[in-house]
Structure 1
Amino acid sequence: MVFPVSIPILLFMTITNYIIHATNKLNALSSWCSAAPCPANGLLWSRVSDGINTPIRFFEQLPHWRISLMKAILNYGAGDLRLESIPVPQAQDDQVLLKVLACGICGGEYKLAKASNGATPAAAGIIPGHEIIGEVVQSATDTLPAGTRVAVSPNYSCGLCEACRTGHLYLCVNRPKRTAEIGGGYADYALVYPGQCYALPDDLETLDAAITETLACCLHGVEKVNIQPGERVLIIGAGANAQLFVQIARIRGASFVMVVDNLKDRTEMALSLGADMAVDAAEQDPLAASPLLSNGADVVIVNRGRPEAVTDAVNWCASSGRVLCYGVPPAGIPAPIEPHLLWKKEVSVVGSRSYGTSFGASLALIASGRIQVRPIITRVVALDETIDALRTPQASIKTVIVPSA
């Protein structure tokens, strides 16, 4: 016998099936988003909360309705830095979306917090930060699966300009400019390219890896002056880069390393990392402080951005010695050098910026423990503490931003 089904019952069954169907869809979407934010349509969308079981809340969570925001420091120029909430950037097919785990503050970035006379902020801000360690969220390449921790090489060259075609990729004139979407590490997320990513060894601490780019630059500088076994090295300044130069000089066989600085905590660190002597030049002539430097140093490395540091470097350099200008004054500020000394002593003066092929070597040295980096990191800040940190450079030897801190 067939029993007739009333219209109210039929309607009730239809609605019930709809709710069950919607709930199943929701559970699937929730599982999809449980390990990491959903990269739907190339954007990072809000994670769906567990336990939602109504169709209305399901549709509210669809990508069409809500885009995730991230925190980021934006630089508008003229000392105008702002912590803002902006959309997470959209990854194209040739890009990698990273969750920023750490980003070192470069010594040159402290000037971002200084107001410029007569300058006005720009209409659009850009995200600073090029010393990035991140975790892959979205990638089009199988070699960088989600969850991979990477160190990011900020050098991304065009391969077409004269610098690139003569092997100096780090001097590329067409490198992509940073924007509010591309490349900056002072944010929760960052977009980079696969060729910039170096996978971290599993046992390497994220915080230690944050020094990879800094060390790569120092290695490149040492290659320029080619420290030889048995040579005497004098390092002007005792900041983060100088602490690395001390250790590199030792690895390359320097017989004597002196650091010149007037900040006691920094000179004490340099001594603990391998320097033989530390001198405050305001109190003592470095060449008179040790008989080993009575005729000057074979290599002098300048880490101070003051004109007189370059003058001192040439004066303190031995005959046939080399001067590395690593930390330099701003553009337009000359340094007085006596040409007769260059001629008389045959001193070579070279500059060094960025790095060539030393990024991988830097990562390997940090992972091996041959270069100690953890003592150099003397301050860790969250994103909302970053602007204040940029205003107090002397409070730290090396500061690293950890967005999740």
Structure 2
Amino acid sequence: MKTKVGIIGGGPSGLLLSQLLDLKGIDNIVLEKHSREYVLGRIRAGVLEHGFAALMREAQCGERMDAEGEIHDGFYIAEGDKKRRVDLAGHTGGNSVMVYGQTELTRDLYDARSKMGGKVIHNVEDVTLHDLKSDAPHITYRDGDDIIRIDCDYVIGADGFHGVSRKSIPKDVLKEYEKLYPFGWLGVLSRTKPVSPELIYAKSDRGFALCSMRSQVLSRYYIQVPMSDKVEDWSDDAFWAELKARLPKEVAAELETGQSIEKSIAPLRSFVAEPMRYGNLFLAGDAAHIVPPTGARGLNSAASDIYYLYHALLDHYKDGDDTGLENYSEKALARIWKAQRFSWWMTTLLHKFPDNIPYDDRLQQTEMDYLFSSEAALTSLAENYVGLPF
């Protein structure tokens, strides 16, 4: 097989880039190691920057998002029994975020690819990248006993943290930065009415909690737990009791509980790999960077990579201009590190750190007090939350 752009990874990043390129007549093939059903079964983030929402519309995939997604102009930060609102729209000149589940977003992208006859190949095995430093890179994968070869101009690695793409860059070229946090998030998805029309980030002496949603009848809640905890340690009743204990009393009293649909513990990690380009391989999304979910930057950071790659490839194929491709890594990383900073700051502000000394706790409290005493600080938070410019 031959194509212009070979995309490794059939998650939202790979599918979005594939759709955008196809709309401009740029041939591409997506390779995904799992089945479509497996990809759609993953429960992930659901807060989209306004820029990401605009990119979905440009990809002609925004109709259901706009019809069913929840536009949020703000969110709450709770501390003890005090709940204060961060006015996103008011501090950013009217910008907002869209609450729309990643599963639904991915479904929309899959449907769009199917309607256009997009080439998405599932259940591929032993994907290997070849000749990345040459002008003629190619990809091979195994289908049963057959080895299939795809010749392409460029390879996009959107295959996640554990994928083959980043591992294809020599160790003496790649530099990795990582920070592991001493806790995780226990998340529960339930078919219950959300406790609040806007997200609530809660800081308490018992640890962090988050009240989120997927729709008006589907709620997503999280609590901070030690990394030694296992899902089996937490019954539904135990989860709801602990969540209530971390929320303001008036919020806890309104909380509707129910049987969990999905329950999992996710570790918190900050990670960046540099550079994001090696020859004609370009990394995107979790293949190059991961953030704690506190600031809702993970999926949105991947979207900014896709924005840069889409425009760079468009300039190359339509105008013969390689400036965007040559500057991709530097440009993408500049925005990624800002997202890293914001996610680290939100995580540091709101979580209980087991090794904190009293000085650390007082400093954390002072940071919270300063945030709500300063319009400049609130504006900075709001600007980062709705999304910095691409």
Fold conserved between structures, TM > 0.5: no
TM-score normalised to structure 1 length: 0.22
Larger radius of gyration between Structure 1 and Structure 2: 1
Higher helix fraction: Structure 1 or Structure 2?
2
Higher strand fraction: Structure 1 or Structure 2?
2
TM-score normalised to structure 2 length: 0.23
